[in-house]
Structures are given as C-alpha cells and as structure tokens.
Structure 1
C-alpha cells in the first residue's frame, strides 16, 4: 500500500530523530501545525468517544477521497492525531478500512511511547473515521 505524500514526508522527518526527546519535540510541532477546528465543529456529535482527552473529528468526502480535520485539548494527542491525519487523508473508503495504526506509529518510532489509553484513544479516532466513511 502506497503512503500518501504527507505521510511519506512525516516518516522521513521522524527517521532523522536520534532520541525520544527529538521525537517528542517533533510530535508537539506537528500538533501545533494542526489547523484549529471551528467552535461550531466542536460539538458532541463530532466528539470521539473512547478518548481520555477531548478529540473532535470532522470528515468530508471529496471526489471519492476522505479528508478529515480534527482537534484535541491535549498537546500530545494533537500531535498524534496530526500524524494520523497525514496517514489517512486522501484515502478512499476501501483503503481507509485497511490502515494499520500500530504499524504506522511503529514506522514513526512512536509506538513504544504510546500508553494503552493513548493507543485506545487513537484506535477510537480511526474507528470513527471508518464509521464516517461507511
């Protein structure tokens, strides 16, 4: 499965990190680049349940490809969600169903830093994306 261009760029950037501190800094930077969701989109209907932090997700189908926007009140989660978005944005519904989240964060070198609750939260976000795409 070919990675979206933005995902390839993320992978290349994270591969240059020699330490967890560098990865953590980079993760925060990705979170800061995440465009802010409009307050009108921060509704209970768009809230992802299953996350300890508050996460909102909006999806839109454009020409057969999904585009998601998301936000979180937690800095680390914003970074992780930003990296999830570069992995899934532009995918068709069929390809979206096949995204391997643990593999993606493993490739980025972030998997061992994901606590079970963070992993569960990110899985909840991906699951919500798949539900929206159905």
Structure 2
C-alpha cells in the first residue's frame, strides 16, 4: 500500500469520530497495536529528541523497505508514533523522504496537542525521515 493510501485511510478513520475524546481513545487503541521495539534497542541513541515523553524508534532495512518499531512511556505518544509507523513502515526510503505529512493537519492532530507534544510530533516525523535518508544513501 502506498504512503498516500495509508494516509487517506487514517483520515477516513478519524473522520468517523464525533469529538476529540473519541479520537484520543482511538489513538490510545492504535498505540496498543504498535510493533514494539525490542528491549535491546531501548537506548538513549534511539530516543527521539525534543519529546515530552520518552519515545524510542528503531529502523532497519528489510529488502528495499524500511521497517520501524517503537515504544513510548506515554499512551497518547504511543498512539502518535503508531500512526506515523503505520504510514512510513515497510516503505521504500525515497518514498518516505518525499512523503508529505498533510494528513496530520487533515485529521487535526497537531492543533489538538499541547505545544510540547506537537513539537514532539514534528521531531518524530523528522527522525523517521532521517532514518530513510540514511538508508537511501546506502542504496545509492
């Protein structure tokens, strides 16, 4: 599935909910489905900088796609990273690099987060794209 198709799926899913309380609950539920990072990768080097809570992300190449795993010590943040991993995992590095993230605005996520969580969201996207850049460089 393409990144854009996954993003559209997420937009459709979030549009089904009446209010943000239901959307937060959905994000918490998504966090429970997150492909969890192996404990051996829960290192300071895998922490996303600038997040209010701890978020660990690990990336590895699987054939020609990047596969992400993650975890967080906060349930909302775990839901946020779960959404991002759903979009970007199992995609070619170049597609991750070129992907826009307008779906985040379309579901209203950034505007419904505290400033520190919104900043963390931006840093999560940035880190996932940095992993993709590193792997794309290896492919060239």
TM-score, scaled to structure 2: 0.82
Q: How many residues are matched?
A: 132
- Measure how far apart 1:65 and its partner are: 1.3
Counterparts of 1:1-134 in structure 2, within 5 Å, are 2-3=2-3, 6-101=6-101, 103-133=102-132, 134=134
Deviates more, 1:17-26 or 1:111-120: 111-120
TM-score, scaled to structure 1: 0.85
- Measure how far apart 1:58 and its partner are: 0.4
The two structures, once aligned, show a CA RMSD in angstroms of: 1.9
Distance in 2 between residues matched to 1:96 and 1:113, nearest whole Å: 25
Distance in 2 between residues matched to 1:27 and 1:43, nearest whole Å: 25
Q: Structure 1 residues 69 and 4 mapped into 2: Cα distance closer, same or farther (>3 Å)?
A: farther
User: Any stretches of 5+ residues in structure 2 without a counterpart?
Assistant: 135-140
CA offset digits 1:53-79 (Å, max 9, x no partner)? 101000011222111111110110000
- Provide the secondary structure at the position in 1 that maps to 2:58: strand
Distance in 1 between residues matched to 2:62 and 2:84, nearest whole Å: 19
Distance in 2 between residues matched to 1:125 and 1:4, nearest whole Å: 18
Distance in 1 between residues matched to 2:127 and 2:17, nearest whole Å: 30
- Provide the secondary structure at the position in 1 that maps to 2:79: helix
Deviates more, 1:109-118 or 1:71-80: 109-118
Distance in 1 between residues matched to 2:127 and 2:110, nearest whole Å: 21
- Measure how far apart 1:5 and its partner are: 5.3
